[in-house]
Structure 1
Amino acid sequence: MKLELIGKKLGMTQVYDGDNNLVPVTIIEAGPCPVLQVKTPDKDGYSAIQIGFNPQGKSPNKSNKCTKGHAAKAGVEAQQVAQEIRFSDDHEFERGSVLTVDHFKEVKMVDVVSKTKGKGFQGVVKRWNFKGGPASHGSMFHRRGGSYGLCQWPGRVFKNKKMPGHMGNASRTTQNLAVVKVLSEK
């Protein structure tokens, strides 16, 4: 059974491993994540749990009435973030129970899913690493993309042509990251 927790990146540091090598590590505040709702195949058509997360320093009072009412049914304070995790039918979670990092004490590797930094609308030089044009000698073509395609045939721009556009704020998954240490008391 896979287990997921919601967390927040606090920063990075470095630690020594067993062979005296300096290893970069990411510090993540993961959990506690209360179970806000349990979904069953009889009622919802599939089996899942909905967990919440309140990062440190975030006030639950900033939540709207709908979120506060949903959390009150589980007997917990309002959560800033809520996420659903699908399970097989044999999970043992109950509404109001809390998932903590203690579940990861024996885990050696994890997959991390997060959002990249949003950079807004960017040109082709930053977004796709285009070389650009000449910088001097009267050139007026510095950071542009050049030609977008052919002429009368095919009479269109091909799919997946690298163009300026929105960069970042996309979901990325990093697989098989080693868990260096789990501190449950912090």
Structure 2
Amino acid sequence: MMGMFDADDEEKTANEWLARLSEAAAGTWANELTVARLSRGLRDPRTRDMMALALMDPTLDAPRLAAAARDTARLAPGAAGDDMLRRRAFAVRPDPARLRAAHRELSNLARVAPDCAAAAADLCTLVFWLAGDRNGLDQMLDRPAPESVYRVVARFGRDHDVWPGQAADVRRYSVPAI
């Protein structure tokens, strides 16, 4: 079953998200349609996963991100293609500029669309782990919040000293604390 988006909406959301993650978006205002589309995306688990995937693999474009959001077979445990997800090669290192932009955009979305604040904070937890910011991650994980895949992955990574890209200096991708 697909999320609350149709195929066109998923690609439009992917385009909007990628545009907001670009350097050109820094300091620019997001219009009401963008805020509505991204906040709705954050509330939809499959679209939120697509937004997270854009942070983990900065080489993916909007059509491939939208296809990933629609690809239920490869994400369902035990499905015929679920090993495709395990073998997926992600970018060696997350893009620090994209992580800073994601933090900025998620913070803004949480402020202007409070109904997506919990989902935005959830995704911010992943941003701090991807950034290798142990202090920020600790602050996010100390907040009272329901467990989610993002929190579990980030906590496991922190607790076992596993950081994206096997970075020697995990503080290299520091993101300002929320």
Q: Same fold (TM over 0.5)?
A: no
- Name whichever structure is richer in helix by fraction: 2
Q: Give the alignment's TM-score, normalised by structure 1.
A: 0.22
- Name whichever structure is richer in strand by fraction: 1
For CA contacts below 8 A with separation 6 or more, give which structure has more relative contact order.
2
Q: Give the alignment's TM-score, normalised by structure 2.
A: 0.23
